[in-house]
Amino acid sequence: MVFKANYARFEAWSDRLLKDTEAETDLTNCQESTCKYSGTCVGTSKTPKCLCKDHTRGKRCQRHDLIFIVELKIYDNGKEAVWQKDFEDKSSYLSTIKALDVCKLLKLSIIRGSNIQLSNSFIDCYLITYHKLSVIIEVALILDIELSLIPLINLTLIQNQIMTGLKTMDPSLNEFKTISLDDIISGNSSTFKVHVHDPCKNGNHDCSINAKCIVQPQGTYVCECNPFTIDASFDVNYPGRRCMYDGLIILAFAIIGGLICTLTVLICGCRRTIWRRYRRGPESIDLINMPRNYDI
Q: What local confidence, expressed as pLDDT, does residue 42 receive? A: 87
Model confidence at 14, pLDDT cuts 50, 70, 90, reads very low
Please compute, for residue 283, the number of CA atoms within 13 A of its CA located in the half-sphere on the CB side: 3
- The answer, yes or no, to whether residue 273 has pLDDT greater than 80, is no
Q: Indicate the helix (H) or strand (E) that contains 43.
A: strand 40-43
Q: What is the mean pLDDT of residues 213-230?
A: 90
Contacts for 117 with CB less than 8 Å, ≥ 6 apart: 12, 16, 145, 146, 149
Q: Which long-range contacts (CB under 8 A, 24 or more apart) does 215-221 make?
A: 217/153, 217/154, 217/155, 218/66, 218/145, 218/150, 218/151, 218/153, 218/154, 219/66, 219/67, 219/68, 219/153, 220/64, 220/66, 220/150, 221/64
- The answer, yes or no, to whether residue 3 has pLDDT greater than 70, is no
Q: What is the mean pLDDT of residues 1-8?
A: 43
pLDDT in tens, 164-189: 999 888 888 888 789 998 888 877 88
* Model pTM score: 0.71
- The answer, yes or no, to whether residue 98 has pLDDT greater than 70, is yes
- The answer, yes or no, to whether residue 262 has pLDDT greater than 50, is yes
Q: What local confidence, expressed as pLDDT, does residue 175 receive? A: 81
Number of helices (H) and strands (E) in the chain: give both, helices first: 6, 14
- The answer, yes or no, to whether residue 283 has pLDDT greater than 80, is no
Mean pLDDT taken over the chain: 81
Range 151-189 burial, b when 16+ CB lie within 10 A, else e: eebeeebbbebbbebbeebeeeebeeebbbbebbeeeee
Give the C-alpha separation, 56 to 65, whole Å: 6
Q: What local confidence, expressed as pLDDT, does residue 248 receive? A: 53
- The answer, yes or no, to whether residue 214 has pLDDT greater than 90, is yes
Domains contained in the chain, CATH given: 28-61 (2.10.25.10), 64-196 (3.30.70.960), 211-245 (no CATH)
CA angle, 71 as apex, 196 and 198 as ends, to 5°?
20
Q: What local confidence, expressed as pLDDT, does residue 254 receive? A: 58
- The answer, yes or no, to whether residue 137 has pLDDT greater than 70, is yes
